[in-house]
Amino acid sequence: MATYNYIEKAIQVTRREFVALTGVAAAILWSGAYAITDVVEDRNKYIKLRTAGLYKDDEKSALRQSHKNKSLMDMYAKLANKPLSPVAEKLFHTQYVDRTKLG
């Protein structure tokens, strides 16, 4: 006949200790999860900062529309007359190539 040994577990955890350990475990898991969301949150932060930098440059510009660029208009007067003129077509426009058959 089999004999059974009914000795209790060697590690004894009282009810108070159990509550405390649960608390510590929860705190560790919580701060880990928090750190991960932080990493995910920060992932694109530099993109947003750079974008904000450009919009700041826009906002502080005295002129915010391309057709108000005086030097550009001056260049058109001296070189290309107006947009889509023959000189502008030559210098500022291009044709595209079907590159599905390379070589």
Partner 1 sequence: MNCPFGSIKDQVDAVDEVMKKLDDPNITVVATIAPAVRVALGEEFGMEPGSLVTEKMYGALKKAGFKIMDVNFAADNTIMEEGMELVEKIKHYVLGVPTTHHLGALPQFTSCCSAWVRYIELNHPDLLDHLSTAKSPQGMAGPVVKTYGATEVWHTEPEKIYVVGVYPCTAKKLEASRPEFHSAAKYWKEHGHSADYPDTDVVLTTRDLARLLKKKGIDLQTVEPATEKDNPLAEYTGAGTIFGATGGVMEAALRTAYFVVTGEEMADLSYKPVRGLEFVKYADVLMKVKGTDKEITLKVAVVHGTKNVEALLPDIKAGTSPYHFIEVMNCPAGCVNGGGQPINPMGTSWLGKTKAIFPWS
Which of 13, 63, 81, 103 contacts partner 1 by CB under 8 A? 63
Least CB distance to partner 1 at residue 25 (A): 23
14 binds partner 1 (CB under 8 A): no
Structure tokens at 29: 């898991």
Helix (H, G, I), strand (E, B) or coil at 87: helix
Tell the smallest beta-carbon distance from residue 24 to partner 1 (Å): 23
Contact 81, 88 (CB under 8 A): yes
34 binds partner 1 (CB under 8 A): no
Give the CA radius of gyration of the chain.
35
